[in-house]
Amino acid sequence: MRLFHARGYDAVGVAELGAELGIKPPSFYAAFGSKAGLFERALQRYIQGEANIFARALADGGDVATVIDRTLALAARLYPRRDGVAGCLVLDATRNSADPDACALTAAAKRASREALRAFIATERPAKAGALADFLTIAMAGMSAAARDGADEAALTAFAETAGRAFRREMEAD
Amino acid sequence: MRLFHARGYDAVGVAELGAELGIKPPSFYAAFGSKAGLFERALQRYIQGEANIFARALADGGDVATVIDRTLALAARLYPRRDGVAGCLVLDATRNSADPDACALTAAAKRASREALRAFIATERPAKAGALADFLTIAMAGMSAAARDGADEAALTAFAETAGRAFRREMEAD
DNA sequence: GTGTTTTTGTAGTGATCGCTATATAAACAG
DNA sequence: CTGTTTATATAGCGATCACTACAAAAACAC
């Protein structure tokens, strides 16, 4: 998970993954089936862990705008580079990847994430939940990409606060 | 330029680039020195052409907020996938690339782009030009990444308009 | 036309890619 | 301890990577 997150799916080889896990290629393929198989498990672990910032923000309760503010703030705190890892694994691990299986895995996770956001927003603003979810999806993609380009927590937090205010205004408009 | 833009720096090989240019490897290296050498020229062509949306928006004149609105709107129109190409070459061509030379080239272009934004904003709001430029940098990174993930012009335009309004408010605050 | 320089095509460099055939070592059942 | 099964290591599969040595061809000077 750490290697995929730090350098992206294509840039990390099976040999290196095996070395990190302390196993040789045959054991690797017996355990995971393929490189994409290990990536799928890494993705699941990531999504079910503390990196699922929306799930964490949702667990603390509050109305839609509050939860969204919390989600954006968590992204700003989590995304800056630490130990060579930056941004979101789901959003960025398969950028420019040539592997269709790996890309399909992240694409599915992105769809699920966007749908979770949309469904939650729809509890208060069903008519514009889709557009608001799109706004957040694009904003978080920007935070993850910027973090990978070296943006620090201060810059991401400032963006998160501005984006949160914009979200609230769009939500309350009309 | 088209191949690098569509699939990213690492995913396109010298053989394919040579085939597209109608030349064989020795001629390729005589002309460009290296794969990164051709990428540098592709980047320059991109930056000096109509893909430099800030330069285009700036050329049409107007105050800062107007030019920024125009820049975001141009990104929303330019970034969606057409002929397999989506997003911004500078922002996304070296994502997850393992080549330090190619990454240094895009990093320099990103710094130059951010500085151009900052300097222009500083003509009206010197005190907060850096923070406002960071906001736009992150927003455009999000639009480019989302476009690469399949976002259409409608979603990007909605984001651009919301981001533009947020920019104007942050600019006029205090 | 001749001799020289530049450009090109053919072929191949070593390295790495994801992945696997084969053979040995370990674990286990009786 | 024997026989069978599971798991591992060694080695290498074909393919592709960026890049280049070498030689044939094209262009040029005179």
Quote the CA–CA distance of B90 and B109 in Å, as a whole number. 7
Mutant choice from A96, A99, A157, A165 vs B, greatest count of B C-beta within 10 A:
A96
pLDDT digits (tens, 9 = 90+) for A27-84: 999 999 999 999 999 999 999 999 999 999 999 999 999 999 999 999 999 999 999 9
Chain A touched by B166 (CB under 8 Å): yes
pLDDT above 80: residue B50:
yes
Nearest CA to A5 out of A59, A51, A66 is that of: A51
pLDDT above 90: residue B124:
yes
Which residues of chain B lie closer than 8 angstroms to A8, CB-CB? 95-96
Strand D lies under 7 A from the Cβ of residue B66: no
Check whether domain B2-172 has CATH 1.10.357.10, yes or no = yes
Which residues of chain B lie closer than 8 angstroms to A7, CB-CB? 96, 98
Mutant choice from B5, B12, B140, B149 vs A, greatest count of A C-beta within 10 A:
B149
Give the pLDDT confidence score for residue B107 in this predicted structure. Answer: 98
* Tokens found for residue A84: 């060579």
pLDDT above 80: residue B40:
yes
Exposed/middle/buried for A106, CB within 10 Å: 0-12, 13-18, 19+? buried
Each domain of chain A, given as residue ranges in start order, spans: 53-172
Nearest CA to A51 out of A37, A71, A22, A35 is that of: A71
* Tokens found for residue B149: 């993930």
Q: Which nucleotides of C are covered by protein (CB under 7 A)?
A: 7-12, 16-22
Chain B touched by A19 (CB under 8 Å): no
Q: What is the mean pLDDT of chain B?
A: 97
Contact (CB, 8 A) for A64 and A116: no
Which residues of chain A lie closer than 8 angstroms to B95, CB-CB? 8, 92, 95-96, 145, 148
pLDDT above 90: residue B174:
no
* Tokens found for residue B61: 């004149």
Chain B touched by A100 (CB under 8 Å): no
pLDDT above 90: residue B173:
no
Give the pLDDT confidence score for residue B1 in this predicted structure. Answer: 96
